[in-house]
Structure formats: structure tokens, C-alpha cells
Amino acid sequence: MPLQRRLPKRGFRPFKRVEYQIVNLRDLERVEGDVASAETLRAAGLIKSLSRPIKVLGKGDIARAMKVSVNAFSRSAREKIEKAGGEVSEVE
């Protein structure tokens, strides 16, 4: 039997893939204060690890102006935060 049929079939997974911790806009209401950073998200129980990057997605709405500083934002999340009067800043 040929070698390619004897080996298990596996998909390709990029070595430099970035796996984000996901936070939705509706969950940002659980953060106390007007600043949402990695430390405040961890204190609110929205993320598990401070070492993995965080991405905010636009599911839900935000009712108050907040300054959000995480690693990445979706386009809709960025627009909704700025529309509510908040600030968006990306952290490395």
C-alpha cells in the first residue's frame, strides 16, 4: 500500500495562528467603571487569561460611554462604542 494512504489525514493549521478571547459588547455592561482593559475584564469574569489576546465583537449594544483598550475590535464593535461616546484603543 502506498505511503500516502497509510499516513493519517490531517488538516493544515498555521503555526502563527492567533486565538483571541472573545468578548461581546453586551458583556461589557458587567465591567465596573468607565475603563475596560484586560485587568478589568478579568476581574469581571469575562476572560480567563491575561496572556492571550482579547477581541471585542459587536453582538449586542452598549448604553454608556467607555474607554475600551484591548488587542482587536470588529468593525461593528468599534462603530458602536464610538457612537455611544466611548473611546477605542488597540494594545499590542
Residue 14 predicted with pLDDT over 90: no
Whole-model pTM over 0.75: yes
| Domain enclosing residue 21, as ranges | 16-90
**Residue 11 confidence (pLDDT):** 80
Residue 9: inside a domain:
no
Residue 36 predicted with pLDDT over 90: yes
Residue 35: inside a domain:
yes
Q: Among the residues of 1-92, which ranges form H helices?
A: 3-6, 38-43, 75-83
pLDDT, tens digit, 9 for 90 and up, residues 43-84 = 999 999 999 999 999 999 998 999 999 999 999 999 999 999
Instruction: Give the CATH number of the domain where residue 60 resides.
Output: 3.100.10.10
Residues of the chain with pLDDT > 90: what percent? 75
Residue 39: inside a domain:
yes
Label the pairing between strands 87-90 and 72-73.
unpaired
The count of domains in the chain is: 1
Residue 85: inside a domain:
yes
Residue 41 predicted with pLDDT over 90: yes
Residue 10: inside a domain:
no
